[in-house]
Every structure is written in structure tokens, then in C-alpha cells.
């Protein structure tokens, strides 16, 4: 293998991968009679599996995790402790969800009536497709209508907010503390640096890379690398950043030029007077 990093990771995966030991159904776990738990799946202490839930084969659900009504978790998925999955949400195969993450919390939907906010019922769900990994304390809101969808192979870091009716395309990577506002559609193979913020109802093309702490207020229609707030193509953003860093020098040079112009003007006026 020509890439030493990949070779090193292969060794770790083969010989040192953690096993996450959990077997059987703990006596303190609650499984509703109408729920089903597949072969070789394990439930830790104080796990709650509500009515109508379907748990596939070889699933591990660690301590204090709660699944509300009609949640589906497919084969070989791994849910760590203190995960909350609200009603009707669907989790694909080989999904990993880390501690403290909430799937299917209500979307941030309100309308103003008589000077007060009135809650709009959020009656959709969340669909997490196969081979997705969600870090700790991620929040994925349920759709107002339809589904909030995280598509196959996507990886999401800790402390990320995904709002209602968002769609994140296949094999996208989202770094910590990013926020994606409602109904925005993110393409395939995108990469977002830390603390990127996206406004609502945008469309982001496939293979878009966005630098850390960027603010995205408009749709991005072409693949490429972008940075800044407002967002710009990265070469333009760096050119502008270079000018901003040199503003003090520019101001000094402009002042010197103004003084020279004033001096020359005074000399010309004096010569004209003669």
C-alpha cells in the first residue's frame, strides 16, 4: 500500500478495533410487547424500546437510550448511551450514533398570532440512511411534513444542528458546531469545516468544500472550494483577506500620497502666481 496513513489505519482496524462489549437484554431495559428485537441484538441498562419499534439483527443499544413509538433501527447499528430517538424515525444499517445525540426533536416552527408565537406541529420524521455516523450531542430535527434525511455514508461531527426538512447528500462530511437551517439541500461529497452556518431554503451543489466559520446566505450552484462570510470562491476570498490585512499599510500610503499631492499643488499654485 503506497499511502502510509491508510496502511497504519488498516492495521488499527484489523488488530485494535474496539469491540464495545454488550450482550443480551439487561433486566432493567423495557421492551414494549408490540416491539421486536432482532437476533443477537443487545440492550443495556435502562434502555426503553417503545410500542411498535423494530430493532434489526446485531444491533447494540447502550445504557439509558430511549426509542419512542415506531422507531426502526436496522441491522448492525450501534447506539451509545443517552441517545434519544423520537417517534417514527428510521435508522439504517451500520449506523453509529454517539452519546447525547437527539434524533427527531421538533423542528423550530412557529407562527405569530396576536403578538405571540404559536407552535406549528412538526408531523414528519427523520430518516438516517446506511453507514452514517453521528457524533455526540448532534441534534437532527424532524420535518414539519415529510422527512429530514441524512443520506448514505455521511459523517457528522459533534455538536452539529440539522434543522427540519434538511437533506444532506451521500458521503458528505460536516465538522463540529456547524448549523444547517430548515429546508436546505446539501449535495453529495461535500465537506464543511467547523462552525459553518447555512441559511434556510438553500441548495448546495455536489463536491462543495466550505472553510471553517463561513456564513452561507445564498445557494452554491457549482462544485468548488469556498470561504468567508458572505461566502466567496476561495481564491477571491483570500485576495480580499490579503487586502484587509494590509489596510493599515494602504492607509499610510494613501496619506503619504495625499501629502505629496498637496505639496505639489502648493508648488504649482506658487509658480502660477509668479
Active site amino acids: 164
Do 103 and 128 meet the contact criterion of CB atoms below 8 Å apart? yes
Alpha-carbon distance 91 to 77, whole Å? Answer: 8
Runs of H (alpha helix) within the chain = 4-15, 234-245, 247-273
Closest of 85, 84, 95 to residue 58, by C-alpha: 95
Please give the full DSSP string across 19-39, using - where no structure is assigned.
-----SB-TT-EE-TT-EE-T
Alpha-carbon distance 199 to 184, whole Å? Answer: 7
Cα four-point dihedral sign 72, 75, 77, 79: positive
126 Cβ contact list (under 8 Å, min separation 6): 86, 89, 90, 103, 104, 140, 141, 142, 143, 147, 148, 149, 150
Closest of 148, 46, 154, 37 to residue 102, by C-alpha: 148
Residue 58, Cβ neighbours under 10 Å: how many? 16
Do 29 and 45 meet the contact criterion of CB atoms below 8 Å apart? yes
Do 229 and 214 meet the contact criterion of CB atoms below 8 Å apart? yes
Amino acid at each position: 500500500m503506497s499511502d502510509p496513513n491508510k496502511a497504519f489505519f488498516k492495521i488499527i482496524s484489523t488488530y485494535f478495533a474496539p469491540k464495545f462489549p454488550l450482550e443480551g437484554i439487561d433486566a432493567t431495559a423495557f421492551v414494549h410487547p408490540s416491539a421486536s428485537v432482532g437476533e443477537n441484538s443487545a440492550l443495556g441498562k435502562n434502555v426503553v424500546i417503545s410500542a411498535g419499534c423494530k430493532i434489526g439483527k446485531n444491533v447494540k443499544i447502550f445504557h439509558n437510550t430511549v426509542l419512542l413509538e415506531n422507531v426502526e433501527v436496522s441491522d448492525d447499528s450501534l447506539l451509545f448511551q443517552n441517545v434519544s430517538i423520537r417517534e417514527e424515525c428510521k435508522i439504517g444499517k451500520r449506523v453509529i450514533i454517539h452519546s447525547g445525540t437527539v434524533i427527531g426533536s421538533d423542528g423550530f416552527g412557529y407562527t405569530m398570532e396576536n403578538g405571540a408565537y404559536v407552535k406549528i406541529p412538526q408531523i414528519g420524521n427523520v430518516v438516517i440512511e446506511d453507514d452514517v455516523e453521528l457524533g455526540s450531542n448532534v441534534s437532527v430535527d424532524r420535518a414539519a411534513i415529510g422527512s429530514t434525511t441524512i443520506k448514505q455514508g455521511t459523517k457528522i461531527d459533534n455538536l452539529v444542528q440539522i434543522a427540519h426538512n434538511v437533506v444532506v447528500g451521500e458521503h458528505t462530511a460536516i465538522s463540529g458546531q456547524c448549523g444547517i437551517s430548515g429546508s436546505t439541500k446539501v449535495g453529495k461529497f461535500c465537506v464543511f469545516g467547523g462552525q459553518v452556518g447555512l441559511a434556510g431554503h438553500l441548495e448546495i451543489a455536489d463536491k462543495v468544500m466550505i472553510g471553517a466559520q463561513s456564513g452561507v446566505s445564498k445557494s452554491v450552484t457549482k462544485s468548488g472550494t469556498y470561504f468567508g462570510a458572505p461566502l466567496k470562491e476561495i481564491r477571491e476570498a483570500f485576495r480580499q483577506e490579503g487586502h484587509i490585512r494590509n489596510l493599515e499599510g494602504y492607509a499610510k500610503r494613501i496619506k503619504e500620497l495625499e501629502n505629496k499631492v498637496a505639496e505639489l499643488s502648493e508648488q504649482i499654485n506658487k509658480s502660477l502666481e509668479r
